[in-house]
Structure 1
Amino acid sequence: MREIFAGMPWWVKWIAVPVVALVVFGGLIASVIGFVFGLLFKLLLFVALIGGLVYVVRKFISGSSSSRSDW
């Protein structure tokens, strides 16, 4: 691989090749990044919903147990 780029100018290695790679694989890269961000968002939403559920259940249980002890 080094022999191929040995006679090339620096801008071919550092500008042209990455640009061509982005053009060719841009859709794949975008879909992978979108999938990862979507997965992270769903995971965060799941954690928030479970945390809210645990908070509501604890609040309900602690409220109902204190009212039972008043009887």
Structure 2
Amino acid sequence: MAVREFLTGMPWWVKWIAIPLIALVVFGGVIGTVMSVLIGLLFKVLVFVVLVGGLIYVVRKFMSSSSSSGDW
């Protein structure tokens, strides 16, 4: 018996409300953990990009000011 045949006789609210709600309750912890890991990874990537951008800005600023003064 296929899932489609099983769901054919069910009302619409079972297919579209009850089953997703049960899946959310059963797998909610897993979904929350995965979302937490993805958000944490995205935050770390954002911090990395900001730090590298800041480093590049500081190095360019230093290089431009040192080349114009002629101390090196």
Q: Fold match, TM over 0.5?
A: yes
What secondary structure, in the 3-state scheme, does the structure 2 residue paired with 1:25 have? helix
- For residues 38-57 of structure 1, the aligned pairs below 5 Å read 38-57=40-59
- Cα distance between partner residues in 2 of 1:4 and 1:24: 21
Give the aligned CA root-mean-square deviation in angstroms.
1.1
Greater relative contact order: 1 or 2 (C-alpha under 8 angstroms, separation 6 or more)? 1
- Cα distance between partner residues in 2 of 1:6 and 1:51: 56
- For residues 22-61 of structure 1, the aligned pairs below 5 Å read 22-61=24-63
- Cα distance between partner residues in 1 of 2:61 and 2:11: 68
- Cα distance between partner residues in 1 of 2:52 and 2:40: 18
Q: Deviation at 1:28? A: 0.5
Q: Deviation at 1:40? A: 0.9
Give the aligned partner of residue 67 of structure 2.
65
Q: Aligned residue pairs: how many?
A: 69
Hey, which bits of structure 1, 4+ residues long, moved more than 4 A? none
Give identity over the alignment, percent.
65
Stretches of structure 1 that go unaligned for 5 or more consecutive residues are none
